[in-house]
Amino acid sequence: MSLDLGVLISGRGSNLGAILDAIGDGRLDARVRLVVSNRADAGGLDRAARAGVPTRVLSHRDHADRPSYDAALVAALREAGAHFVALAGFMRLLGPTFLDAFPHRVLNIHPSLLPAFPGVDAQAQALAYGSRVTGCTVHLVDAGTDTGPIVAQAAVPILPGDDHDALAARVLAREHDLLVRALEWFAEGRVEVTPAADPGGRARVVVRGAHTWFGLAGGVD
């Protein structure tokens, strides 16, 4: 099935660019119905406009609380015809008002091998910890911070002499591929989500006929 996507961003929109490129070259059967940013200066808005994709700026500062902001996001996405949501560097937490509107249809990309290093600046966390391997994770969003059921992961080595920017660039390149692959699986109807059996439990994700773990990329000596 073709995905009617809404994409939420806060910054330069490189993962949005990967989605638009994949749609443009026929790898991803989807249409981006709307790109929403909480920041007017997000570079990804220009990237979307160049591709002819509608954009909206909805600042969280214009709303009294998270539920009212989430409701505004939901209204904008529904008005545009989006039925599936990709978070592509969106730096705001989403609550039940939003998640209940798109059950098991909100996908996020995070720059670590979750559950390691959730939250902000996962690359700095990995370097500070002395990890030898990090990577990226695509997961469905739930009420926690980067705690939703995992769809796919890819590993990236931390090389001797790596600084934050070098590591972040290698992880980001991997993110682009992994996010597009995961969206392809949803578009192809390969993903089955089993809701949690008990209140407070975790949903389970099964992807039929696809490898969901990708080994080291970037090279090691």
Per-residue pLDDT at 219 exceeds 70: no
Half-sphere exposure of 73 (CA within 13 A, CB side): 35
Quickly count helices (H) and strands (E) in the chain. 6, 10
Average pLDDT, the chain: 94
Higher pLDDT, 199 or 113: 113
pLDDT at 196: 78
Say how far apart CA 21 and CA 26 lie, in whole Å. Answer: 9
pTM: 0.93
**Tokens 């705690």, residue?**
147
Please name every residue paired with 152 in a beta bridge, in sequence order, or none if there are none: 138
If you count them, how many residues does the chain have?
221
What's the average model confidence in pLDDT over 104-113? Answer: 97
Active-site positions?
110
What's the average model confidence in pLDDT over 139-157? Answer: 95
Please answer whether residues 132 and 158 qualify as being in contact, where contact means their C-beta atoms are separated by less than 8 angstroms: yes
| Among 106, 132, 134, 102, residue whose Cα is nearest residue 121 | 134
Which string of DSSP letters, residue by residue, matches 78-122? HHHT--EEEESS--S---HHHHTTSTT-EEEEESS-TTSS-SS-H
Least-confidence region, from 9-23, 163-177, 190-204:
190-204
What's the average model confidence in pLDDT over 18-33? Answer: 97
Say how far apart CA 42 and CA 195 lie, in whole Å. Answer: 35
Please answer whether residues 203 and 140 qualify as being in contact, where contact means their C-beta atoms are separated by less than 8 angstroms: yes
Say how far apart CA 35 and CA 56 lie, in whole Å. Answer: 6
Banded model confidence at residue 201, pLDDT cuts 50, 70, 90: confident
pLDDT at 220: 45
Identity of the residue numbered 1: M
Quick: pLDDT tens for 28-80. 999 999 999 999 999 999 999 999 999 999 998 999 899 999 999 999 999 99
Structural domains of the chain, ranges and CATH numbers in brackets: 1-102 (3.40.50.170), 108-221 (3.40.50.170)
